[in-house]
Amino acid sequence: MDKEQLVSQAREIKQRAYAPYSKFPVGAALLMKDGRVFTGVNVENVSFGATNCAERTAIFTAITEGYHKGDFAEIAVNGNTEDFLPPCSICRQVMAEFFEPDMPVHLTNDKNEIRTLALKELLPMAFTDLDM
């Protein structure tokens, strides 16, 4: 699967987001090394701390389905933004837990452009198990 197909899945799933408070739907598509794709959307809650982001929804679903650290290949994130939409800091920390530092993270914007960065570029000096 190429990055355009992965981004397309993130863009399509975004329509299922539950974002009544922010009105900011986000979709994510997570490609596993075996070719399976997990999608996720942001799910808001009136208690904003209980909100879950699209990226974490996809990651947690993959873990629930039996995947492990090291099984992840790349992820695409899509929202309705003029600039490239990066994952929030909480999502970046979860990514650091499960993704390899060189794993591609595809950021998109509403012009259908894609910017690909390695996780280590999004989260330099990540807090990892090596720090414990």
Residues forming the annotated binding site for Zn(2+)?
53, 88, 91
Contact (CB, 8 A) for 14 and 26 = yes
- Tell me the H-state helices in the chain: 3-13, 54-64, 89-98, 119-122
Q: How far, in Å, CA of 128 to CA of 43, rounded?
A: 27
**Phi, psi torsion values for 71, nearest 5 degrees:** -90, -5
Catalytic annotation, pick one of 44, 55, 100, 113? 55
- Residues annotated in the binding site, as ranges? 53, 88, 91
Residue 62, beta-bridge partner list:
none
55 assigned to active site: yes
Nearby residues of 36 by Cβ (< 8 Å), 6 or more positions away: none
Q: Which residues does the annotation mark as catalytic? A: 55
